[in-house]
Amino acid sequence: MFAHTFKQHTVMAAATLLAAFALTACSPAAAQPSTPPAAAVEAAVVTPTVVQIVTKDHLFEAPAEIEGGWVTVKSRNEGAEPHHVQLAQLNDGVTFEAFVEALQQGPEVAFPLMSLAGGPGPLDTGGEAVVTVELAPGNYVLADFLPSADGVPHIAKGMLAPLTVVAPANGADDVTVALPEVAGEVKLMSFSFVLPQEIQAGEQVWKVTNEGDQWHEISLIKLAEGKTMMDVTHWMHAPDGPPPFTNVGGMQGLDPGESAYLHLDLTPGEYVGLCHIPDPASGKEHAELGMVMPFTVK
Ligand SMILES: [Cu+2]
């Protein structure tokens, strides 16, 4: 996001400079018409790279290497269980092997080694989700932290994969990436959500920004007909029968200050936004600390 804004400023500054130069050059006499200065420095506009990821029980089908910058990540769940795709960048010098070793020592050892870059949220079988995230070149992992019915997280069942992000071949400095048109803004705070005031059904993109002081996400569930948030809470504590909701994606965890784009195609109904990330201080899920937000799609 910062890079994008900076680029716009650079282009504008260059255009101003060129315009000033053109005025000086032309002032003594009426010169012959020339190309408008703005056109001379206009950057090529490209759309984000698209990456398709398939989740199964329990593995990711994904490329091992992709080009970075703004990337549209699509996920499709071909597993029987719900899955999400968390993209996380490993700190400089941290290898995949070192990260796996750290995970075996516990999250308090592994988590400080990574920053969260978003990703498609939880989906039920057959579900599809799309997000657009900014990925700086580096070593990443794809991870699924959702637990199976036996309580074991998918990350421990094979859903942890290395991903190398390389600099874009077309040279990020020469292009402007066309970001999605935004229909609504979502703010992730410690510990609450700000959602668009009115949410209409249909295709739309939300810009999701973490304005909190720690990792946050927004998982979206759609309540089954006649079910309430109370039913969801009861089911989450003691699953009994089919869930009273469906998983419809969302934006996986983002670092504080980061933004990403969540592409949605919503049908009318009752929904809830949730953050399942644990609070380091209390160990509680953010949902328990207030990050539960019911909303209606008309
Ligand atoms: Cu949170």
Looking at residue 243, what is its pLDDT? 94
Please answer whether residues 188 and 275 qualify as being in contact, where contact means their C-beta atoms are separated by less than 8 angstroms. Answer: yes
Helix (H) or strand (E) holding 17: helix 2-26
CA of 26 to the centre of ligand 1 (A): 58
The two three-digit tokens of residue 81, written as one number: 């269980």
CA of 259 to the centre of ligand 1 (A): 14
Contact partners, residue 26, CB within 8 Å, separation at least 6: none
Looking at residue 173, what is its pLDDT? 65
CA of 69 to the centre of ligand 1 (A): 25
Handedness of CA 36, 38, 44, 45 (dihedral sign): negative
Place of tokens 């969801």: 232
Q: Bridge partners of 71? A: 49, 133
Looking at residue 154, what is its pLDDT? 97
Please answer whether residues 251 and 262 qualify as being in contact, where contact means their C-beta atoms are separated by less than 8 angstroms. Answer: yes
Per-residue tens of pLDDT for the chain, all 298 residues:
333 433 333 333 333 333 333 333 333 444 444 444 554 456 688 889 999 999 999 999 999 999 999 999 999 999 999 999 999 999 999 999 999 999 999 999 999 999 999 999 999 999 999 999 999 999 999 999 999 989 999 999 999 999 999 998 776 566 788 999 999 999 999 999 999 988 999 999 999 999 999 999 999 999 999 999 999 989 988 888 899 999 999 999 999 999 999 999 999 999 999 999 999 999 999 999 999 999 999 9
The two three-digit tokens of residue 255, written as one number: 């670092």
CA of 247 to the centre of ligand 1 (A): 17
CA of 119 to the centre of ligand 1 (A): 15
Contact partners, residue 64, CB within 8 Å, separation at least 6: 162, 163, 164
Looking at residue 99, what is its pLDDT? 98
Helix (H) or strand (E) holding 210: strand 202-210
Q: How far is CA 244 from CA 253, 255, 274, 286, 290, in A?
A: 24, 30, 15, 21, 20
